[in-house]
Structures are given as C-alpha cells and as structure tokens.
C-alpha cells in the first residue's frame, strides 16, 4: 500500500508541531488512534541516578506527545536495568532487571503510559523495533552557541564505536539489553542539540504510522523541555519507589534511627496526585552522602578528605543538636572506619543488607533504601554534582522539608566556603 505525507499541525501554538506520514485515505474524522511504542536507551557509562533523570525527560515528552498526536496513542517502553558501571558486585546477576524491582509502575502509569520491555515483546509478538535513531552530541566548536536547537543527520558508517551492525537487509543487530533475537529494520544517526520537544518530534516526523516501535538511543543527548516545570514534577513525583524498598527503608529507620513517618511528619498519601505542599520535620539524625572512588579524581578540587568531611559533620551535628549520622557512601571500609574515628561520641550507621537480601533487591535496590532513609533525615548534606545527592534532594523537596536542611553539600575543607546546590522547588 502506498503512503502519502500528511502534515498534522498541533493547535497549541506554544508547543512543537508534529509531522508524520499517514495513510492517504485516512481523514481526521475517520481514523482511529493507532498504538505506537517509544523506546529509548542511555549511554552505557551513565549511572543509575542519571538514568532516572533521563526517564523524566522521556516521560514528559511522551505525556506531551499523547496530548498533541490525534493519530496515535503512545506508550513509553522502559529500558531494562543493568549492568551498570557502579554496580560492582560480580556475584550478583544485575542485567535485564525490571523497573518494578525498583519503582511503583502503577504510580508512574498515572502520569504516562509505560510498560516493561518484556511486556512490549509480548504485546507485539515480534522481536523487532521498526526504526532506531542514534543520537550524538554536537561539539561546541561545530555549533553556533546562539542556536536553540540543531539536528543534523550523519552517516552511521562514520560513527566511531557504533553499537550496531548490519546483518542483512532490514536486519540490524545491536545489544538491545542483552535480549536474544532483537533487531531493528532501520538505523539513522543524528547529531542533536536541544530539548526533546524540538528534537524528537522532528525525528518522529521522519517515521510512518505503520512504524509501531521507534527507539532513540543515547536519549541523554536531548535536554529537558522545561526543567523544574509542573509536568517535570508530576513525572518525578509519580516515580515512587517500590513498596518493598520503602518498607525496608522504614524498618531500618524505626529499628536504628528512632524515625517513623508519624514522628517525622512525613506521612504521604497513597496517590502522589493529591499530595500538596507538605511540611516535614524529619528523624533525629543527619544523613551524609559522601562520594569517594572516581570522585577523588574527577572532582579533586571539590571532594574533602575523610577528616575534613568529619569536621563539617561535627559542625552540623552541633547546630542540629543531634548525635546520630546515617552515612551513604561508596568509600572503602577503611574510609568508613576513619570517619567514625573522627566523630567521637557520634553514632554512625550504614546500610549493609545481607547477602540473601542483596541477591533479590540488587545494588540498585540497596541504593534506593539508602536514599529513602536520607530523604527522612532532619538534615541532609550531599556531594558536589552527584546525581545520587540530587535524587535525595528531590525526594526531600517532595516530602516538604525546609530547603535549608536539604540543599547542602560538602566543601573541600572545613574552613573554605563553596557554592551550594541550586534550590529546585517543587511545583504543584
């Protein structure tokens, strides 16, 4: 069947126009919405918490897409988790993990239609993705810095390290989360600069409505349309942790930190949609997120020594009249021991799940339990430009903590001052 190009322009002038091909005989009055799937992936080197931010970009875009597209109904296919660079445990299988292990999928679905990759395969009954767009960043010396957005196609054969290979006509193989037999029919490569609403809509314009599944690799390349906007916070608030991980965090708080939602004034409604401007107090402990490992090299001018971090913590503990610290860190056992030695008279807790529990919740689940505990502390101090710290700050903002107790980070030394994190306030 021949297909003609039909231009569909959104009536909302403040949002990007959507262009795509539809069947010639189809009219606006007679067409039923077709089901389509948007998939995405992120640079393999990106960590767990940056990927959560990329999800928000994709979710906000698909939410907008379903408002604008009167021809198709879109579902966002969630990319399986792992293996990730920061997940070091070789004794755990940490690949092709479902989102439901970490997050409440039903909560997310109340903002945007989403599905696990396994459910996508079962729904389509074909191990095929119709088209993959591989996105790359523009080098700054290639672009006019006054440009709001840029999109330039390049030959995939010219892309160094391209993670795809052409097996046959309309059969292009790649990693695809280590699932067997998955392939795409078409692959196109683009250099992109700009927000999802500008970039992705123009790439979708190059597809046909018969392309049921379209994937965008390196989705971290595109930016938020409106970072910190109402829809940003709706997507972020919908991204609640799985009930099992929340329960594990709550048990740890109750058993070790004298902390509960009732005492801390952190009770949340079952539905994120009805939560409005809460005021939280927090448990009687300070949470410190202290990044080590690669940060000692990548941010040498910003990361304190263990002793300097202890000095800064002692000042906070005196100000808060608290003698308990919950420590979230990727530091070594020796570094944790050194911190405790530099905090005499202070109780320092860390989260160390049993091997049996870790085998089920994985390292990602253990990190979420740590974040959940930190989100309920009386005071939080994080690490410079750490996405782990950013996600805790967002959780605390959602819970309703005073920004002065949330947007803090370690400085290089006790005596020095340093720029503190930007205060991104929740919008309801």
Tell me the CB-side half-sphere exposure of residue 297, using CA atoms within 13 A.
Answer: 2
Environment class of residue 100 by beta-carbon count within 10 Å: exposed (0-12), middle (13-18) or buried (19+)? middle
Residue reference for tokens 């689940």: 365
Q: Which of 192, 74, 81 is nearest to 133 (CA)?
A: 192
What would the two tokens of residue 199 be?
């970039």
Cα(121)–Cα(135) distance, integer angstroms: 24
- Residue 46 bears catalytic tag: yes
Collect all residues with Cβ–Cβ distance below 8 Å to 378 and sequence separation of at least 6: 281, 282, 283, 284, 285, 286, 320, 322, 405
Tell me the CB-side half-sphere exposure of residue 1, using CA atoms within 13 A.
Answer: 11
List b or e across 116-126, with b for residues whose CB sees 16 or more CB atoms inside 10 angstroms.
bbeebbeebee
Environment class of residue 15 by beta-carbon count within 10 Å: exposed (0-12), middle (13-18) or buried (19+)? middle
Of 46, 254, 302, 338, the catalytic one is: 46
Paired residues of 286 in beta bridges: 325, 379
Q: Which of 44, 50, 46, 54 is nearest to 78 (CA)?
A: 54
Query: CB atoms < 10 A from the CB of 255, how many?
Result: 9
3-state secondary structure of 110: coil
What would the two tokens of residue 308 be?
């300097």
Active site residues: 46
């Amino acid at each position: 069947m021949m297909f003609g190009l039909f231009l569909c322009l959104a009536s909302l002038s403040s949002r990007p126009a959507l262009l795509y091909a539809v069947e010639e005989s189809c009219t606006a009055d007679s067409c039923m919405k077709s089901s389509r799937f948007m998939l995405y992936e992120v640079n393999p080197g990106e960590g767990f918490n940056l990927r959560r931010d990329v999800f928000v970009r994709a979710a906000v875009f698909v939410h907008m897409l379903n408002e604008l597209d009167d021809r198709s109904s879109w579902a966002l296919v969630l990319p399986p988790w792992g293996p990730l660079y920061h997940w070091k445990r070789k004794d755990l299988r940490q690949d092709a993990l479902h989102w439901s292990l970490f997050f409440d999928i039903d909560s997310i679905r109340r903002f945007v239609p989403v599905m696990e990759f396994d459910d996508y395969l079962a729904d389509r009954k074909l191990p095929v993705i119709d088209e993959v767009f591989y996105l790359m960043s523009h080098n700054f010396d290639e672009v006019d810095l006054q440009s709001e957005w840029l999109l330039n196609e390049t030959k995939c054969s010219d892309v160094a390290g391209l993670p795809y290979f052409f097996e046959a006509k309309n059969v292009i193989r790649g990693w695809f989360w280590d699932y067997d037999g998955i392939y795409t029919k078409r692959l196109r490569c683009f250099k992109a600069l700009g927000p999802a609403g500008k970039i992705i809509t123009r790439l979708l314009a190059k597809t046909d409505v018969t392309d049921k599944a379209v994937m965008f690799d390196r989705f971290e390349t595109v930016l938020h349309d409106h970072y910190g906007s109402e829809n940003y916070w709706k997507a972020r608030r919908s991204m609640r942790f799985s009930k099992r991980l929340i329960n594990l965090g709550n048990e740890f708080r109750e058993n070790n930190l004298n902390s509960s939602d009732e005492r801390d004034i952190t009770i949340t409604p079952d539905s994120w949609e009805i939560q409005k401007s809460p005021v939280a107090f927090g448990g009687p402990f300070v949470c410190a997120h202290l990044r080590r490992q690669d940060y000692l090299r990548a941010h040498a001018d910003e990361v304190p020594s263990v002793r300097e971090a202890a000095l800064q913590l002692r000042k906070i503990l005196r100000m808060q009249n608290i003698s308990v610290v919950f420590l979230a860190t990727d530091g070594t056992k020796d570094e944790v021991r050194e911190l405790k030695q530099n905090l005499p008279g202070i109780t320092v807790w860390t989260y160390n799940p049993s091997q049996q529990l870790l085998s089920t919740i994985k390292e990602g689940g253990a990190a979420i339990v740590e974040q959940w505990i930190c989100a309920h502390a009386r005071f939080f101090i994080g690490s410079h430009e750490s996405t782990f710290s950013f996600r805790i700050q967002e959780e605390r903002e959602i819970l309703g903590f005073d920004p002065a107790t949330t947007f803090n980070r370690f400085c290089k030394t006790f005596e020095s001052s340093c720029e503190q994190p930007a205060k991104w306030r929740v919008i309801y």
